[in-house]
Amino acid sequence: MATTLNPSSSILLLLLLLLLSPPLLQTSHADNHDLVRSSCVHASYPDICLRTLSSYGGSASTPRGLALAAVRVSIGRVQKASDFLSTLKGIARRERGALTDCVEQMGDSVDELSKTLSALKSLRRGGDFRWQMSNAETWVSAALSNEETCLDGFKEIGGDVRSDVRRSITNVARVTSNALYLINLIDDNRRR
């Protein structure tokens, strides 16, 4: 014999369920934060990793989601650095050439990181997985090489421009290095 609830009992039951739900949601958020913390602890730059990815919450609930977030952060930092470098004024001819090359390399980095993002979004288990992971790792590595090449262009140049470029590009390279580490974690988790 089935029992039915009257409308007021149904409302009370619904309210009771709603009151019990927030701790479940908090646990989920805590689990996501634990994933970020446990993944970032061995990154090349753990403090930067934790600081840049801790706000991604639900979208970074898996190693793949965390890697996607890290690549998005890297793209944002590269674009910000490129915009900053484009605004530098009052520089000598030699600095201008290195700066132009650097801005171009940052554009290449954005392209390579965007390809990485696409590869990670369409990542599938099976025969193509290894190929897709290899591509993603190669593109992030190429973006890192572009960032290093940009810095190399300023080795023989001194002054404020060099220190501004170094500070900006070093920040980008650290975030990109962390993204590469987190992409490698996807592959490591698959092999276990």
Query: What would the pLDDT profile of 20-60 be if each residue is shown by its tens digit?
Result: 433 333 334 455 568 899 999 999 999 999 999 988 766 67
Q: Take residue 149 and report the two structure tokens written for it.
A: 């090449």
Q: Lowest mean pLDDT of 10-19, 29-38, 98-107, 183-192, name the range.
A: 10-19
Query: What domains can be seen in the chain, in order of their start residue?
Result: 23-186 (1.20.140.40)
Most confident of 31-40, 103-112, 178-187: 103-112
User: What value does the mean pLDDT of the chain take?
Assistant: 82
At residue 27, the pLDDT reads 34
Whose CA is closest to 116, among 78, 166, 149? 78
Distance CA 48, CA 172 (A): 11
Task: Output the furthest CA–CA distance in the chain (Å, rounded).
Answer: 90
Q: Take residue 64 and report the two structure tokens written for it.
A: 């793949």
Relative orientation angle of helices 93-121 and 129-152, to the nearest 10 degrees:
170
Whose CA is closest to 114, among 72, 86, 152? 72
- The answer to whether 68 and 76 have CB atoms below 8 angstroms apart is no
Q: 44-71 in b/e burial notation, b at 16+ Cβ within 10 A?
A: ebeebbbebbeebeeebbebbbbbbbbb
- The answer to whether 117 and 72 have CB atoms below 8 angstroms apart is yes
Q: What are phi and psi of 161, to 5 degrees?
A: -60, -45
Distance CA 155, CA 37 (A): 36
Helices (H) and strands (E) in the chain, counts: 6, 0
Q: Lowest mean pLDDT of 112-121, 144-153, 157-166, name the range.
A: 157-166
**In Å, how far are 69, 77, 101, 170 from 59, measured between CA atoms?**
8, 19, 35, 27
